[in-house]
């Protein structure tokens, strides 16, 4: 009965995060998901000759105009 209550009222999930984590660990669908880590923002920004990141240099140039 408790799991039915949790399923019908998503706000009850906030009261028992342990039940949510247990359900996630038991889930077959979540286990079959293709997992990969993507970090597209981790690439270093190109630097200008004065050593500033290119976006900061562009901001500074636009403020000087």
Q: Is residue 52 part of a domain?
A: no
Q: Is residue 57 part of a domain?
A: no
Q: Taking the complete model, does pTM exceed 0.75, yes or no?
A: no
15, pLDDT greater than 80: yes
Q: How many domains does the chain have?
A: 1
Question: Both tokens of residue 62?
Answer: 């636009």
Reported as a pLDDT band with limits 50, 70 and 90, residue 64 is low
- Give the model's pLDDT for residue 41: 75
Q: Is residue 27 part of a domain?
A: yes
Query: How would DSSP label each residue in 6-49?
Result: HHH-GGGGGT-HHHHHHHHHH-HHHHTS------GGGSPPPBPT
Residue 29: which domain range?
1-34
Q: Is residue 22 part of a domain?
A: yes
- Give the model's pLDDT for residue 56: 53
Q: Is residue 46 part of a domain?
A: no
């Amino acid at each position: 009965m408790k799991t039915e209550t949790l399923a019908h009222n998503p706000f009850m999930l906030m009261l028992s995060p342990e039940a949510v984590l247990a359900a996630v660990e038991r889930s077959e669908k979540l286990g079959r998901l293709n997992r990969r880590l993507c970090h597209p923002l981790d690439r270093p920004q190109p630097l200008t000759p004065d050593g500033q990141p290119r976006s900061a240099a562009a901001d500074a140039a636009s403020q000087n105009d």
